[in-house]
Structure 1
């Protein structure tokens, strides 16, 4: 064994490390970051970006890496056995007294273990870690060696990819492959949590991103103003009375109906009334100022409702149930509040729908708080693992377990917690007090 032997071994390990780093770097690189570098004039980034945007080229690139890894590993094993293995076998045969066959078998085993361990550590784990931590930089630095490899391995790539595609089709599996990162909303939510825990996102930023993801899964009925809380104007009332109600209302848009709230005819904007009065003419009737109203099903998801409101340039919409009955009112402010949190307003006060810790250790939660937020809050507090059920709010969840409309203050024991209905607005549960139960407490409802 000469001095060239260890040098060749090191070279083959470095070649393997190059292909490993190139594969993990290109798969892990964010196209947006590469595109930013390309716009700044980085030619390597522009070349890598073309590969990332072309599924077929990306597939060939990964195939070249895999061929390079396989060939370098096989050559390293064969070369090591032909040089290090033979030299070590002669050494063991001479100095250990083993039979020649046993000495060479032991030498082959030692050589295989040594080269495998060295290859895994230096040629696999280290370059993989570096590539995952610095994917964009590694992809740029390995671009030219991989481009030469693509030319060198082109016949093998076509042959092997074609053979693999043929076998996949025989198995009934699509041969179309894509190495792009495609994540479900749940996976994106997990990535946001990990970024927040890693210090890359602040709590408020991560919360806003998570709320944006929920728009496609939550229904508009979770954000709406319930029918019983809608402030409307009955056009059958005298004009002076209507103007007084407009003046006293903290809202700029009010639902307009005739006789019953179940028959809305549109909405009235306070600005239109002010302009009509400022024009100097006598205001005889408000009907001419009524604007058309968008009607949406209450089962619609928030993102779809937002799209329809933007398309129709509507700021508010009424929500109807499956029978066509008025169920609530939705405004753009409600959706923005869901994304950004509570918005201040100089004319009206909207108490935030958030859990509040009381001085005695209990928690006060609004009955209208969405059940998803309640479950997340409970998990963060380590209170309980709740069964969701069919309800969409805390009040609905309690009604499912009470099986009746509560009368006055009543309590419910469930999931190791004591729920006490603190305040009612008619039949609606306004606020709930929550406390931990002692281990000996049993489940049930108390009047």
Structure 2
């Protein structure tokens, strides 16, 4: 009889361990990996995904089974110790102590530790039995959920919390692996950059009008050709009169095709015939939408205007791709970084440099919600146009104005506020 009690208690402890490990494995299993395995035809992964689709049911069923076997094991243990030591507090105390130790070690810590180290593998193994348990205990779990939800509503805790969106979950996973060293800095920037596209507008990534290389359409043809060929760009906006008056886009290939047949006599060059019609897009256009426009129209170049139709800058397909893969340079690019690290750990930055580019180059986290460029951020936070030599501390960083041209801040030294204080 005593042997029977011991065997029954051991079986119940094993069942409790099975339930505990199953709960840990299923809640920690990778949904992405299970989805991939299901696509490959793994029936066990399909069962896991079905369980994960309704967590309340399988967690309720597991808790039900676990509590039943734990209570039953405790009852049997109390009966066993009463038989051995007679009625009294000693038997009850010994039963409580022994069962607490056994349940803690063999039914909780050990199975959960094992399951958390290999959640996907364990989840695949236990998915079948747990699925049967969920179906068998469905009506009991449903009744328990009704009671629980009713009590939660009575105490004002019944409002469900919105779960993380798929994007938030992906972003969180990327940030976690980057923090743990599983994803290097460049890969982290590329992955996050792809997710950030939908939150950016054309204004955030465009080349500002002050940095656009453009030519006067009234230049003498030979001079125009020489300037066009010396440019690192293949597409060049042409203006007539004011620089705001863009009359067309000159493509280097179109220019060469028209100039070569003329030999040395370029006076017959018909510039208007080879100019391409400029494509104007609003600065508020989402970057993701602009990328789709580039792909659908087969064009890689657009001019950016504000709500009044004034030229603000230009955007290319390369500018958008660089938000994902980082700076793209070829043998014709002019390497103007605008970001110059200093020996003391600070950075000298040209005012026109976008905040996003500075963050990418330094790994900092300067905000770019209220301003696009470094100069814009300084002016926005200072609420004035500062003079050279003035210093400010915003968002944990120190900004010291180096240069100012008229009403424009053209050079800033930026450093972390803690590092700047240590140097001072």
User: Structure 2 stretches of 5 or more lacking a match?
Assistant: none
Kindly tell me: are residues 388 and 32 of structure 1, through their superposed partners in 2, closer, same or farther at Cα, counting changes over 3 Å? closer
Q: Distance in 2 between matches of 1:30 and 1:124?
A: 22
Equivalent residue, structure 2, for 1:7: 7
Equivalent residue, structure 2, for 1:431: 411
Q: Deviations over 1:167-198 (max 9, x none)?
A: 789989689x99x874664x654532331343
Q: Distance in 1 between matches of 2:101 and 2:30?
A: 31
Q: Distance in 1 between matches of 2:253 and 2:288?
A: 28
Shift of 1:279: 6.6
* Aligned pair partner of 2:199 in 209, 217, 221: 217
Q: Distance in 1 between matches of 2:112 and 2:165?
A: 21
Equivalent residue, structure 1, for 2:256: 274
Q: Distance in 2 between matches of 1:158 and 1:278?
A: 82
TM normalised by structure 2 equals 0.80
CA contact (8 A) 1:234 1:256 kept: yes
Shift of 1:238: 4.8
Shift of 1:142: 0.6
Shift of 1:206: 2.0
Kindly tell me: are residues 437 and 139 of structure 1, through their superposed partners in 2, closer, same or farther at Cα, counting changes over 3 Å? closer
Q: Distance in 2 between matches of 1:17 and 1:422?
A: 67
Kindly tell me: are residues 157 and 228 of structure 1, through their superposed partners in 2, closer, same or farther at Cα, counting changes over 3 Å? same
Q: Distance in 2 between matches of 1:373 and 1:249?
A: 23
CA contact (8 A) 1:368 1:395 kept: yes
Shift of 1:356: 1.2
CA contact (8 A) 2:400 2:414 kept: yes
Equivalent residue, structure 1, for 2:19: 19
User: Structure 1 stretches of 5 or more lacking a match?
Assistant: 91-99, 442-447
Kindly tell me: are residues 296 and 71 of structure 1, through their superposed partners in 2, closer, same or farther at Cα, counting changes over 3 Å? farther
Kindly tell me: are residues 307 and 155 of structure 1, through their superposed partners in 2, closer, same or farther at Cα, counting changes over 3 Å? same
Helix, strand or coil for the counterpart of 1:314? Answer: coil
* Aligned pair partner of 1:400 in 380, 383, 407: 380
Q: Report 1:23-422 matches (<5 A).
A: 23-38=23-38, 40=40, 42-49=42-49, 51-52=51-52, 55-56=53-54, 59-84=56-81, 86-87=82-83, 90=86, 103-104=88-89, 107-161=91-145, 182=165, 185=168, 188-277=170-259, 284-352=269-337, 354=339, 356-358=341-343, 362-371=346-355, 390-405=370-385, 409-414=388-393, 419-422=399-402
Q: Deviations over 1:38-97 (max 9, x none)?
A: 455544334434555xx35x654344323222322332333333333x24762xxxxxxx
Kindly tell me: are residues 19 and 258 of structure 1, through their superposed partners in 2, closer, same or farther at Cα, counting changes over 3 Å? farther
CA contact (8 A) 1:389 1:397 kept: no
Kindly tell me: are residues 267 and 114 of structure 1, through their superposed partners in 2, closer, same or farther at Cα, counting changes over 3 Å? farther
Q: Distance in 2 between matches of 1:128 and 1:353?
A: 53
Q: RMSD across aligned C-alpha pairs, in angstroms?
A: 4.0
Q: Distance in 2 between matches of 1:355 and 1:83?
A: 78
Kindly tell me: are residues 199 and 414 of structure 1, through their superposed partners in 2, closer, same or farther at Cα, counting changes over 3 Å? closer
Shift of 1:31: 3.3
CA contact (8 A) 1:268 1:289 kept: yes
Helix, strand or coil for the counterpart of 1:296? Answer: strand
Which 4+ runs in 1 deviate beyond 6 A? 165-172, 279-283, 375-380, 385-389
Q: Distance in 2 between matches of 1:67 and 1:133?
A: 25
CA contact (8 A) 1:255 1:264 kept: yes
For these two proteins, the number of residue pairs brought into alignment is 416
